[in-house]
């Protein structure tokens, strides 16, 4: 009888400890961090909306970026060229982003976050991807602009 009470107590403590993190207050982000995060989300919204000029709005002219799905780093004009192709061949149906960590120092911000995208190719075949990005932005003329990023999908475990 006594050992079952101990087991119940241990299980109750485990349940409470697992539930506790979700009840803790969320990370407090500074106004600057919130501003940077807004720019990141706005840029994704522009991509989802297939705004071919999003690079002109959000990407610094000297940016160099690299993703797991490309063989070499790309500059702003190369990103725009490949986005045009991508926009013609797929549609993002749902997207979600979750900030993991960010530091803003002087005129530079580094943001680490996760993304989930539900897309459909030109034939209507759905695909779900989850991944992570590290974005580096600088503030120039009062605007945060992407100077670099490194993004990549995580390996799929669901097959979709």
Predicted local distance difference test score (pLDDT) of residue 158: 54
Q: By mean pLDDT, which of 43-52, 56-65, 112-121, 147-156 is the weakest?
A: 147-156
- The CA dihedral of 111, 149, 119, 35, to the nearest 10 degrees, is 40
pLDDT at 9 over 90: no
Q: What is the DSSP letter of 151?
A: E
Among 41, 45, 71, 51, CA closest to 144 = 41
pLDDT at 8 over 90: no
Per-residue pLDDT tens over the stretch 55-80 = 999 999 999 999 888 999 999 999 99
- Report the alpha-carbon distance of residue 81 to residue 86 in Å, rounded: 9
The 3-state secondary structure of 110-141, one letter per residue = EEEEEEEEEEEECCCCEEEEEEEEEEEEEEEC
Per-residue pLDDT tens over the stretch 81-126 = 999 999 999 999 999 999 999 999 999 999 999 999 999 999 999 9
- CB-based burial of residue 111 (10 Å sphere; 0-12 exposed, 13-18 middle, 19+ buried)? buried
Q: How many CA atoms lie within 13 A of 129 on its CB side?
A: 16
In angstroms, the Cα distances linking 88 to 21, 72, 81, 83, 157 are 42, 22, 11, 9, 27
Between these two residues, 110 and 13, which has the higher pLDDT value? Answer: 110
Compute the average pLDDT of residues 5-11: 33
pLDDT at 24 over 80: no
Domains observed in the chain: 30-153 (3.10.450.50)
Per-residue tokens: 87: 């926009």
CB-CB neighbours of 43 under 10 Å: 22
């Amino acid at each position: 009888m006594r050992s079952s009470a101990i087991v119940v107590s241990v299980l109750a403590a485990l349940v409470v400890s697992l539930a506790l993190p979700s009840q803790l207050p969320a990370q407090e982000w500074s106004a600057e961090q919130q501003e940077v995060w807004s720019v990141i989300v706005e840029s994704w919204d522009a991509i989802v909306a297939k705004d071919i000029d999003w690079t002109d709005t959000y990407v610094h002219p000297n940016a160099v970026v690299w993703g797991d799905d490309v063989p070499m780093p790309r500059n702003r004009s190369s990103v725009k060229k490949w986005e045009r192709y991508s926009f013609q061949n797929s549609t993002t149906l749902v997207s979600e982003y979750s900030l993991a960590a960010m530091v803003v120092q002087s005129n530079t911000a580094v943001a680490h976050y996760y993304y989930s995208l539900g897309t459909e190719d030109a034939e209507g075949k759905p695909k779900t991807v989850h991944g992570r990005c590290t974005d580096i932005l600088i503030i120039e003329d009062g605007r945060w602009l992407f100077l670099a990023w490194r993004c990549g999908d995580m390996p799929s475990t669901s097959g979709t």
